[in-house]
Amino acid sequence: MRVPRLVGLMAMDARRTAEDTGLFLNAPDRPDFHQTVVEYVVRQYPQPNAEVPRDSVIYVWFDFGEGDGGGGVREPRLPRPPGGGLQRELNEPGGNDPYAFVSSA
């Protein structure tokens, strides 16, 4: 049997989908998983469409782990922060700056 895609489903819908396909769910990050209703699944293992025997356990998570996901808002926010702030100190002309422009003329 193939594992259904559970990511993006609410907890109650994920449980119902798993039961309808003959699979069991386990949520390591939710000891009260049986009471979880409206939180969304963000990860699952095994991945969708993986072949597993009937009555297998599928693990689902409702929170991203440390350092995973949560990339924040990617749309531009207005007004933009003011310019200025710290700036790099420039080297004296003719100094040992490896990035200095050298004219070949």
Average pLDDT over residues 73-98: 63
pLDDT score at 92: 65
Q: In the numeric block, which tokens belong to residue 56?
A: 């297998």
Element at 43 (helix H, strand E): strand 43-45
Average pLDDT over residues 74-93: 63
Measured distance CA(95)–CA(102) in Å, rounded: 12
Measured distance CA(95)–CA(50) in Å, rounded: 62
Residue 105 neighbours by CB under 8 Å, 6+ apart? none
